[in-house]
Amino acid sequence: MSLEPPYKLTVKRALVCVILLAMPVRSIASPHAARSAQTSRLSDNAQVRAALDWFAPNISWVNDQQARLTAIPAPPFQEAARAAAVKTLLAETGLSVEIDKAGNVIGELQGANEKEIIIVAAHLDTVFPAGTDVKVHREGTRMTAPGISDNGAGLAALLAMVRAVQSAHLKPQRTILFVADVGEEGEGNLRGMRALVEACRSKLKAVVVLDGSGTDHVTTKALASRRLEALISGPGGHSWSDFGMPNPINAMVRGSVRFINTKVPVSPRTTFNIGQIEGGTSVNSIPHEARIKVDIRSESEDELVRLETALRECIAAGVRDEMESARDRSRGKLEWKVDLLGSRPGGELSADSPLLSALRAADDAVGNQSRVERSSTDANIPLSQGIDAVSIGVGGSGGGAHSLAEWYDSAGREAGLKRVLLTVLGVSGIAEEKSR
Ligand SMILES: [Zn+2]
């Protein structure tokens, strides 16, 4: 569809374009009253209504963009092709779009107050390695493909937001950056969001992260996590003639068994996962190397530290056990190390934040209820720095995230998109046109 460039305002209209809806939510006694006031003021605005009305007739367009973007592979550290496609789609709407050094696609919708910024972000990357078949199978409202929900759904919602806002010629009070960011998954270590927050920290008022499907949750608590790699190496040799030489895989197995027997508390919830294991060259070789990648998460920073220490101790003990049982220790020594691949800081949105009020008002407006969750998302970075942030699903339903059978069903998607838009506009405010 064709859209007019966003800022084709006449001088007269531009002059009367002022005033914000930024609600003094903190000063209002009843949160529900505040929310109702916020909702009604927003939906009283004709342009907001026009933007909300954009979704229903355009759901199939949104679905098509989701399928199209999901079919462009975006393995970790290889998001460029998908980023280029998003850049084109954002630029078509008249936004000024650039790709920053990190690889983030940033579309800017200038607000009346350019000194304050709201970021709306959906991550570009998937967990799937290059070569994964990402063809999208569609049947009715259901689509199946790796990455279709996480985060094809978020990217499609991002594009829908921009289209809705631009088609309604809506000018926000605060500048909104619509961003498709890199490096959310795994070893990407949130590098895209880190770069974004770094670049606009002094102006940044809130971050709304669009990730996955659904409307049943709002992530306001950032789960702290660490990713570690343990490596054990030795001389390696022949399975027959060098038998008795210390074996790095044996040592890794011994250490891993110790580690997975580590007790972790139910509360604060603490988890660990050995997610990858590699090493060896052939069945008849004593390997020269073995490595594992481990993800640890906890509601408590102390537990995280304790678990990381446990991993180091267990790997060291595994090496010691293997050396002690080796028949011929003169034939080589094992070396080991544990490296930090990534660390996601924790944080929490305050219960009386304007962003949470805006989200609750949006929930009320679309008749939705959502529960607060703790999770590890792009919102970790702003939350850890005291900047308001949430991560929310974008409507519809989905499942099988991070699996080859991942699916998304767009039924009910409209309410989710409205919820996102009302949340974003609730914190950006509208530069209202006032008639004289
Ligand atoms: Zn995701």
**Nearest C-alpha neighbor of 63 from the set 1, 143, 128, 7:** 143
321: Cβ–Cβ under 8 A, 6 or more apart, which residues? 251, 254, 255
> What value does the mean pLDDT of the chain take?
91
**Parts of the chain belonging to CATH 3.40.630.10:** 11-223+346-433
* CB-CB contact of 256 with 321 (8 Å): no
The DSSP result for 226-245, as a single string, is: EEEEEEEE---EETTTTTTS
What single letter denotes the amino acid at residue 100? D
Tell me the pLDDT tens digit for each residue of 64-120: 999 999 999 999 999 999 999 999 999 999 999 999 999 999 999 999 999 999 999
CA distance 168 to 62: 17
Q: What is the pLDDT of residue 300?
A: 86
Q: What is the pLDDT of residue 331?
A: 80
Q: Is the pLDDT of residue 21 over 80?
A: no
Class of domain 11-223+346-433: alpha beta
Distance 370 CA to ligand 1 centre (A): 18
Q: Is the pLDDT of residue 15 over 60?
A: no
Distance 60 CA to ligand 1 centre (A): 22
Share of the chain above pLDDT 90, in %: 84
Q: What is the pLDDT of residue 35?
A: 65
245 Rama class: left (phi>0) / alpha (psi -120 to 50) / beta: beta
* CB-CB contact of 145 with 406 (8 Å): yes
Distance 284 CA to ligand 1 centre (A): 41
Distance 266 CA to ligand 1 centre (A): 25
Q: Is the preceding omega at residue 151 within 30 degrees of 0, hence cis?
A: yes
Tell me the pLDDT tens digit for each residue of 73-89: 999 999 999 999 999 99
Confidence band of 327 (pLDDT split at 50, 70, 90): confident
Q: What is the pLDDT of residue 17?
A: 38
Q: Is the pLDDT of residue 56 over 70?
A: yes
Fold of the 224-344 domain: Alpha-Beta Plaits (3.30.70)
Residue 271: exposure state from Cβ atoms within 10 A (0-12, 13-18, ≥19)? middle
**Parts of the chain belonging to CATH 3.30.70.360:** 224-344
Distance 207 CA to ligand 1 centre (A): 15
Distance 151 CA to ligand 1 centre (A): 5
Average pLDDT over residues 256-280: 96
Tell me the pLDDT tens digit for each residue of 276-300: 999 999 999 999 999 999 999 998 8
More confident residue, 38 or 146: 146
Distance 191 CA to ligand 1 centre (A): 14
Coil vs helix vs strand at 298 = strand
Distance 129 CA to ligand 1 centre (A): 15
Average pLDDT over residues 149-174: 97
The DSSP result for 347-359, as a single string, is: EE--TT-HHHHHH
Read off the pTM: 0.79
Q: Is the pLDDT of residue 37 over 70?
A: no
Q: What is the pLDDT of residue 27?
A: 39
Tell me the pLDDT tens digit for each residue of 335-366: 999 999 988 888 899 999 999 999 999 999 99
Coil vs helix vs strand at 109 = strand
Average pLDDT over residues 321-325: 94
